[in-house]
């Protein structure tokens, strides 16, 4: 579910309540997420202060003095600030209870997310150490992307969703940025010109920034840390718009399956060249 803007929104939402606060305890109601929640996380985190709340790709990092809690929301996860006494509901798997009587509560019906612990530099963790540049960083630029696309036979949509190309671009923003750049999602990467790569870099940054500004996209169940939805769904141009007119040329939006995922596009604006 959550792509980069949604995870960034969660980080910004929890900071005012959790940054600098002490962790009273961690409650694990169901440890069976994508990987088992490590047992030692309870003793490691107890009485530690949250010194920094950071995001890398779609991972949320809660940095303590003795290590870091690494959280991923998978497809269906939410991380909300609630009162510690609020009764847990279905799929509330983890509570990070703070000394200020609030609680960071992870709810994840599909359990594709994870909550892990590392004693060491989290950026060296095996899940994080090989990640590509952040899309909003200067390192993600025309020269970098164009070079990455050379000789690649994979489809451009798959390549921009690949964490080894750039992180944080999921199914929604891949469709949106390809539309803005008038690139067909089914083109192979080696067909993309330098000008198209430049456009794609520009529009990936543009759509992610705009979504962050709106608090992310809520299609179904994404929620900000305070429970409100994100409002970028109202600004989507093609994602989930099959059969609706293209906002540029009014041709009907279509979708194609790429790697089991729906890719929405305008067959006229995004032709195969």
Partner DNA sequence: CAAAGGTCCTGCTCGC
Partner DNA sequence: TGCGAGCAGGACCTTT
Contacts with DNA by CB under 7 A lie at: 1-3, 6, 32, 34, 57-58, 72, 74-76, 90-91, 109-112, 127, 151-155, 158, 161, 163, 170-172, 189, 217-222, 259-262
Q: Decide if 58 is catalytic.
A: yes
Whose Cβ is closer to DNA: residue 165's or residue 181's?
Answer: 165
Residue of 3, 8, 63, 176 marked catalytic: 3
Whose Cβ is closer to DNA: residue 84's or residue 154's?
Answer: 154
- Give the residue among 133, 81, 75 at the shortest CA–CA distance from 104: 81
CB of 10 to DNA, least distance (A): 11
Residue 13 vs residues 9, 51, 156, 228, 243: alpha-carbon distances, Å: 6, 16, 33, 10, 35
CB of 90 to DNA, least distance (A): 6
Q: What is the DSSP string of 94-157?
A: EEEEETTSEEEEEE-TT---EEEEESS-GGGSTTTTT----TTSTTSSHHHHHHHHTT--SBHH
- Give the residue among 53, 61, 49, 55 at the shortest CA–CA distance from 20: 49
Angle (CA) 167-239-114 rounded to 5° is 40
CB of 24 to DNA, least distance (A): 28
Token pair in block for residue 54: 């950071």
Within 13 Å of residue 159, how many CA atoms lie on the same side as its CB? 25
Q: Decide if 126 is catalytic.
A: no
Token pair in block for residue 272: 């195969």
CB of 84 to DNA, least distance (A): 24
3 state DSSP class of 206: helix
Whose Cβ is closer to DNA: residue 48's or residue 188's?
Answer: 188
Whose Cβ is closer to DNA: residue 76's or residue 181's?
Answer: 76
CB of 225 to DNA, least distance (A): 14
CB of 201 to DNA, least distance (A): 19
Residue 214's DSSP bridge partners are: none
Beta pairing class for 59-64 and 67-72: antiparallel
Whose Cβ is closer to DNA: residue 102's or residue 241's?
Answer: 241
Q: Decide if 2 is catalytic.
A: yes
Residue of 25, 191, 261, 268 marked catalytic: 261
Whose Cβ is closer to DNA: residue 49's or residue 109's?
Answer: 109
Token pair in block for residue 189: 């990467």
CB 161 within 8 A of CB 170: yes
Other CB atoms within a 10 A radius of the CB of residue 147 amount to: 11
Known catalytic residues? 2-3, 58, 261
């Amino acid at each position: 579910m959550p792509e980069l803007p949604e995870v960034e929104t969660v980080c910004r939402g929890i900071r005012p309540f959790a940054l600098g606060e002490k962790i009273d305890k961690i409650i694990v109601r169901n440890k069976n997420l994508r990987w088992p929640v490590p047992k030692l996380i309870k003793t490691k985190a107890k009485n530690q202060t949250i010194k920094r709340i950071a995001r890398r790709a779609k991972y949320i990092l809660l940095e303590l003095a003795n290590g870091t809690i690494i959280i991923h929301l998978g497809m269906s996860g939410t991380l909300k600030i609630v009162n510690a006494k609020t009764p847990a509901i279905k799929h509330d798997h983890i509570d990070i209870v703070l000394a200020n009587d609030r609680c960071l509560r992870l709810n994840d019906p599909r359990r594709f997310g994870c909550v892990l612990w590392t004693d060491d530099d989290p950026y060296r963790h095996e899940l994080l150490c090989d990640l590509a540049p952040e899309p909003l960083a200067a390192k993600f630029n025309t020269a970098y992307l164009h070079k990455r696309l050379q000789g690649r036979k994979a489809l451009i949509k798959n390549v921009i969703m690949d964490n080894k190309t750039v992180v944080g671009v999921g199914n929604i923003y891949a469709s949106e940025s390809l539309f803005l750049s008038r690139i067909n999602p089914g083109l192979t990467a080696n067909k993309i010109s330098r000008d198209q790569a430049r456009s794609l870099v520009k529009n990936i940054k543009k759509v992610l920034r705009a979504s962050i500004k709106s608090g992310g996209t809520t299609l179904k169940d994404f929620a900000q840390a305070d429970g409100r939805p994100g409002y970028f769904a109202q600004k989507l141009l093609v994602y989930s718009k099959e059969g609706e007119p293209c906002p540029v040329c009014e041709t009907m939006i279509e979708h194609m399956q790429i790697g089991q995922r729906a890719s929405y596009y305008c067959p006229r604006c995004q032709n195969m060249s």
